[in-house]
């Protein structure tokens, strides 16, 4: 699987993503500085990592969504390439319009950082098939603006079309309908606030994120 990770000023989970992709795919992902304006050719997956791009000024992800690299990210998505946005990456994807909705301040007004139980909602997606019959998983969260919001019509459509990938068990941030991750209409873009790249086995104390990357490999 050929992959790339977009790096913004303020990204701090890009190295976690690099380690996860290297270990699971056996290939070194390309680290692409956002101002390069160009992604490598023939990519299968582009990851938009977590962190605090541009210091989270304005709205989280809003400045990054106007970066020179975004036009080629759109082209990759329009060709049917896979995109995974995690935490700040989810915020960026919503700000670009590649995913619906927005992420706002946690309802508690506190930073949430803990292992978080999730329920798998979209079982037959390119990102979840390897979970098999597993219902619930444990994935770390670390965010201050993870409260997913959208208008009722959008929420109804996401649920009706099976585009809610993950839901929180014990909602930590006030997200509408407990939504922790959503898919694009074609199922090839996933945005989620929890960090599967921090749960691939080893020192993290859990491996429930590994199946997400295994699912992508199987899909390809």
**pLDDT (tens digit, 9 = 90+) per residue, 160-191?**
999 999 999 999 999 999 999 999 999 999 99
Domains of the chain in sequence order: 3-219 (3.40.50.880)
User: Which entry of 76, 95, 197, 208 is annotated as an active-site residue?
Assistant: 197
User: Which entry of 34, 76, 144, 195 is annotated as an active-site residue?
Assistant: 195
Q: How many whole angstroms separate alpha carbon 117 and alpha carbon 138?
A: 4
Pairing of the two strands 82-86 and 3-7 = unpaired
Give CA torsion, residues 212, 214, 219, 220, to 10 deg: 120
Q: What is the reported pLDDT for 193? A: 98
Q: How many whole angstroms separate alpha carbon 30 and alpha carbon 163?
A: 28
When pLDDT is averaged across residues 84-97 and rounded to a whole number, the result is 97
**Annotation marks residue 195 as catalytic:** yes
Q: Is 66 exposed, middle or buried (0-12, 13-18, 19+ CB in 10 A)?
A: exposed
Q: What is the reported pLDDT for 59? A: 84
Q: How many whole angstroms separate alpha carbon 88 and alpha carbon 49?
A: 6
**Annotation marks residue 144 as catalytic:** no
In a 13 Å sphere around the CA of 138, the CA atoms on its Cβ side amount to 8
12-17 own/partner pairs: CB under 8 Å, 24+ apart? 12/50, 12/51, 12/52, 13/49, 13/50, 13/51, 13/86, 13/87, 13/88, 13/195, 13/197, 13/198, 14/49, 14/51, 16/49, 16/50, 16/195, 16/197, 16/198, 17/47, 17/49, 17/86, 17/197
**Annotation marks residue 87 as catalytic:** yes
User: Which entry of 87, 95, 143, 144 is annotated as an active-site residue?
Assistant: 87
What pLDDT, in 10s, does the model give residues 101-139?
999 999 999 999 999 999 999 999 999 999 998 999 999
Locate 188 and state its tokens.
Answer: 């090839």
Say how many Å lie between the first and final Cα of the chain, rounded.
7
What pLDDT, in 10s, does the model give residues 54-63?
888 778 888 9
Residue with token string 């992902």: 29
**pTM attached to this predicted model:** 0.95
């Amino acid at each position: 699987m050929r992959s790339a990770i977009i790096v913004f000023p303020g990204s701090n989970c890009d190295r976690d993503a690099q380690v996860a992709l290297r270990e699971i795919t056996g290939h070194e992902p390309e680290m692409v500085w956002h101002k390069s304006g160009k992604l490598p050719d023939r990519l299968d997956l582009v990851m938009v990592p977590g962190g605090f791009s541009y210091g989270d000024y304005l709205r989280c992800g809003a400045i990054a969504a106007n970066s020179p690299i975004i036009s080629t990210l759109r082209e990759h998505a329009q060709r049917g390439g896979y995109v995974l946005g995690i935490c700040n990456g989810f915020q960026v994807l919503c700000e670009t319009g590649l995913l619906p909705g927005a992420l706002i301040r946690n309802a508690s007004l506190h930073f949430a950082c803990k292992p978080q139980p999730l329920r798998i909602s979209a079982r037959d997606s390119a990102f979840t098939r390897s979970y098999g019959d597993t219902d619930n998983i444990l994935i770390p969260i670390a965010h201050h603006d993870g409260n997913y919001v959208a208008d009722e019509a959008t929420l109804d459509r996401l649920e009706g079309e099976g585009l809610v990938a993950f839901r929180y068990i014990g909602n930590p941030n006030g997200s509408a309908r407990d939504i922790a991750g959503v898919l694009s209409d074609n199922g090839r873009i996933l945005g989620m606030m929890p960090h599967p790249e921090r749960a691939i086995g080893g020192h993290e104390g859990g491996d429930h994120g590994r199946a997400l990357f295994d699912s992508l490999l199987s899909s390809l």
